[in-house]
Amino acid sequence: MSTNINDMESLEENIITCRKCPRLVAWREEVTRVKRKSFMDWKYWGKPVPGFGDHRARVLVVGLAPGAHGSNRTGRMFTGDGSGDFLFPALYNAGFSSQPDSISLNDDLVLKDLYLTAICRCVPPGNRPDKLEIQNCKEYLVKEIKLINPKVLVALGKIAFDGLKETFPGIKSNSTFIHGAVYQINDRQTLVCSYHPSRQNTQTGRLTKEMFAQVWKKVSLLVYDKDD
């Protein structure tokens, strides 16, 4: 199915202008005003962060939420923080990214056959959105999935896994979040699970570069070793 670019642009505009969650609006705007000392010369994005990547992607990757001084600063998913520093080299090595780092909206990075998005589009205090805030964002994820119609979905972390499990009734109710697990969603789509590439996971060794590389190897095999 060919993605309608106008529909994607309309969806992205709806995301950027969203003010559904008062707590998140207040927090993202406070972070934007106060800033971090090392980024005082930056004009923070300070709005909900839309998805990013190939609108005809066969791989859709779902994270948790923007980082306070990462995506909330740069305006691009996984860009400018520790999670992105771990994610983009892995995507580059797997052939999904044109470069191994993501610094700003204007760094010429191109994602190939992959689209990055998140369960929650605004930075949450303590990196913990509540259930209502996640629910308020659900319609955006559902629309992205419908428009892109990916072959493989990758859940980065349990919250992303739970959100996708709720979105797809075809995922068995007894399916659990396990790093490296693969679940069939329907006769065409597959879900792959991975620990989130947060510093909490990568600096403690819970998620290593080798473990993460294996995830993207599985994704590549699912996408390219089977006929569409």
Predicted confidence at residue 174, as pLDDT, reads 85
Q: Which two tokens stand for residue 122?
A: 């605004």
Predicted confidence at residue 226, as pLDDT, reads 55
CA distance 143 to 228: 22
Predicted confidence at residue 66, as pLDDT, reads 96
DSSP 133-196: HHHHHHHHHHHHHHHH--SEEEEESHHHHHHHHHH-TTS-TT----TT-EEE-SSS-EEEEE--
Task: Report the interhelical angle of 209-224 vs 82-93 (nearest 10°).
Answer: 50
Domain ranges across the chain: 5-224
Strand partners, 62: 117, 155
Predicted confidence at residue 225, as pLDDT, reads 74
pTM: 0.94
- Residues (pLDDT < 70) of the chain are 1-3, 226-228
CATH for 5-224?
3.40.470.10
